[in-house]
Structures are given as structure tokens and as C-alpha cells.
Amino acid sequence: MARESLGRIEGKKVLVIGDVGLDEYLMGDVRRISPEAPVPVVEVRNREFRLGLAANVAQNIHSLGGLGFMIGVVGGDTAAKDLAALLKSNGVSDQNLIVDGTRPTTHKVRLMSGQHHVVRFDFEETKFLSQSLESDVIEKFRGLIPSSDGVILQDYGKGVLSENLCQALIRLTHEQKKKIVIDPHRTTPVRYYRGADLIKPNRDEAYLLSGLNLDSLREHKNSLLDVARAIREQTAAPHLIITQGKDGVTIFSGIDGEPTHIPTDEREVFDVTGAGDTYLATFCLAWFSGLSIETAAVMANAAAGVVVGKIGSVPCSRDELIAALEA
């Protein structure tokens, strides 16, 4: 089953659009406390750059045997150049990066001691794009969507995806009779995503996006069902997947169909960074290839289980996914 299913996703083209970023890891050891202040001194031994946010989704698509095309917005800075170089070295084109000289490239620096985060520094500015930049994004999207097998819209709340842009991209996708999957952000009004084919929040995001009273929901045994119903009513999304970490995922499809719960295998977790990106990439590759939602969710669970056993934002390879599914 594993090799047959993965054979169907080989070469599938997925268009990823959303917030992109550069992840930097400074890794070392803590051997003493600073004499200047009661803080640990990390002796840095290694420095690595990795693709973050939507760029990590595109990277995962490539590592699983698909073709990831990515549209993103960066600043006119060194981080943008590092990001572009990293994209190319990981098999993803950098030709669809749009430069906004008024903002920095989103850049996260993590200081690590062994498997533990010591501190994280975020360099970013959250604001919506200008009308002219939104038009540039739409034109790039219009040129790429005909040759794509499906679209991922990944919202990290950095301001790239406005309501106007989301609705334009959903409309253009459906004009080409393709599917569009949304990875939402908890602070974005859920109406931005109306008309999408599938929305994939995690549990915390779903509760916030529903707009329901959280205090009363906590006392309701069917609260997840109520949350799912509220999101689907506001977005008219035919499918909704709520991920719940070690508790698996729940799929809501059909008008009044019963939810389907898919558990996850117990694994040793070192770092959950990037696991949601891996899940999204794997699921969409499988679903866009014609596999059922349930099969796609099982494959995505297995891929996410691989990356939580690693440190940092690291993709799941095709061979690793085969091994996880066969196990």
C-alpha cells in the first residue's frame, strides 16, 4: 500500500502560496552561567539555515517526490538572498518570490542547547501588502495555476494573505477546476477562507476560528463537533480536518456525516517545529493525486511522526515515509 500510494504522488505539481521565512539555528552546549547576569552561556558549535513557514511546505513536497511551486513575499535583504539560495538547493524555484522593500524577510533565529530551545529571536513585520503587490501575486498565481494539480494556501498571519487576496486565489483555483486547501491562522477572520475545498486548523486554532464562546464549549462533550459545524457554516467548506497532535486528527465531510477520527502512532517527540507543514504537504500531495481523504490523512500522520523525531524544521523524505507506513 505504501509504495503504491507514493507512486501516485510522484511528479504531482502543487502550488504553495503564503507567508515564507528563513529559519536559523545556532546549536551548542551550555557549560556555565554568565558572570554578567544569571543566564546560561551557549558555546555555539554549529550554525544552520533552513526553510521556514510555507517554504518548508514546498520543500516537503519536493522531498516526497512531488513538484512544489511557491509564491511568497520577501524583503530586499540578506535573509531573502539566503532564502532564495536555500530554495534552489532544495529543488524549489526561487523565481516566484516577490520583493517588498518596505518589510524585512521573516527570519527566526533559534538558539539551541542539545535538544532544548534556549531562546528564539524573530525578525519580521506584520502588515498587509500594497494593492500593487497583491496584483503581482495574483498575476504570478494566474500563470502557474493551469499547470498545477492543486493549491495550498498557508496563512501564518504575517499579512500576505488579505481577504481580497484569499478570495481571488480561491476563485482562480476553482475556475481551473482545481482544489485549494487552507492552513489557517488563529488570528485571521475565518470568512477570509470561504469557498475553500478543505480547511486544516489544529485544535486550538479551530476553537478560536469558530467564534463560539470558549468557556461554554469547555463544558460540552461534543464541543469539537460544534466547532467544526461553526467553521463549515461560515466558510461553506465541504471538508474540514482538525489536527490534535498526539491525539490524531478528526475529519469532517459531507452535510451531516459522522466525523472520522484517525489516531496517530505513539512516537518519541524531540521537536514539533515544522510537523504541521509536513502533514499539510503530505496530505495535499495524496489528496490531489486522487487518494481518499482518509488515506491521505493516514499518510500525513505517518510523515508528521517522522519529523517530530528530529530537531528543527526538517522535511520527511520519500524513503522515510515508506518505512513509517510499512511499520
Q: What is the pLDDT of residues 46-65, one digit of tens each?
A: 999 999 999 999 999 998 88
Residue 8 — pLDDT band, cuts 50, 70, 90? confident
pLDDT at residue 162 above 90?
yes
CA distance 122 to 108: 5
All structural domains of the chain with their residue ranges: 2-326
Q: Give the chain's mean pLDDT.
A: 89
Active site annotation includes 277: yes
Per-residue pLDDT band at 311 (split at 50, 70, 90): low
pLDDT digit string (tens) for 205-219?
999 999 887 766 655
What are 90-137's pLDDT values in tens digits? Answer: 989 999 999 999 999 999 999 998 878 889 999 999 999 999 999 999
pTM of the model: 0.89
Tell me which CATH homologous superfamily contains domain 2-326: Ribokinase (3.40.1190.20)
* Among candidate residues 100, 96, 108, 53, the one with its CA nearest the CA of residue 74: 100
The reported pLDDT for the residue numbered 25 is 92
178-196, pLDDT tens digit by residue? 999 999 999 999 999 999 9
Q: Which of 23, 155, 271, 277 is catalytic?
A: 277
| d(C-alpha 275, C-alpha 280), whole Å | 9
- In whole angstroms, how far apart are CA 20 and each of 34, 55, 103, 212, 254? 35, 5, 13, 30, 33
Angle, helices 293-307/275-288, rounded to nearest 10 degrees: 150
For residue 227, give the amino acid letter.
Answer: V
What percentage of residues in the chain have a pLDDT greater than 90? 68
Q: What's the pLDDT at 297? A: 92
Distances (CA, A) of 46 to 22, 27, 43: 17, 5, 9
